[in-house]
Amino acid sequence: MKGFKVFLLRGNVVDLAVAVVVGVAFGVVVTAFVKDLVTPLIAAIGGKPDFAGLSFTINNSKFLYGEFINAVIAFLLIVAVIYFLVVVPYTAAVARARKDPPADPTTKKCPDCLSEIPIDARRCAFCGELVAKPA
């Protein structure tokens, strides 16, 4: 029993459990957003987007392909909402946070011929001009 307790209280198991619970809650929020806001918006623009009544019958077996179409549309809408409202802003925020500060320059321009020369050079290797050391 002691080993089981140690396993349960390890950090990664608890973190995973929290991630699953938060993920499920987030999925419910995104699904409600798509169902209650995005889908009605699409319905207002292009008509009622409900294909649940579409079906066909073969040998007394009813195939409800309209429900499948509804599920595919809902999936695509959910993925689009997650991408544009979560992934894109998160990626941009991470990119801004990880911007490396500019590196110290290793070269400078010769004031006479404008060639790139080492930062510590006192004379240009291309034209021979005396160059002041950087401050």
What angle in degrees, to the nearest 10, is found between the helix axes of 65-82 and 39-46?
Answer: 110
The residues pairing with 107 across neighbouring beta strands, listed in sequence order, are 118
Complete DSSP assignment for 64-126: -HHHHHHHHHHHHHHHHHHIIIIIHHHHHHHHHHTPPPPPPPSEEE-TTT--EEETT-SB-TT
Alpha helices in 2-64 (DSSP H): 2-9, 11-33, 39-46
CA distance 35 to 26: 14
pLDDT tens profile 81-94: 788 888 899 889 88
The residues pairing with 57 across neighbouring beta strands, listed in sequence order, are 62
Query: What structural domains and CATH numbers belong to the chain?
Result: 2-97 (1.10.1200.120), 102-135 (no CATH)
Per-residue pLDDT tens, the chain, 135 aa: give them. 888 777 767 767 777 887 888 888 888 887 788 777 777 777 777 676 667 777 899 999 998 887 787 778 778 877 887 888 888 998 898 888 887 777 778 888 888 888 898 888 888 888 888 887 655
Task: Tell me the pTM.
Answer: 0.49
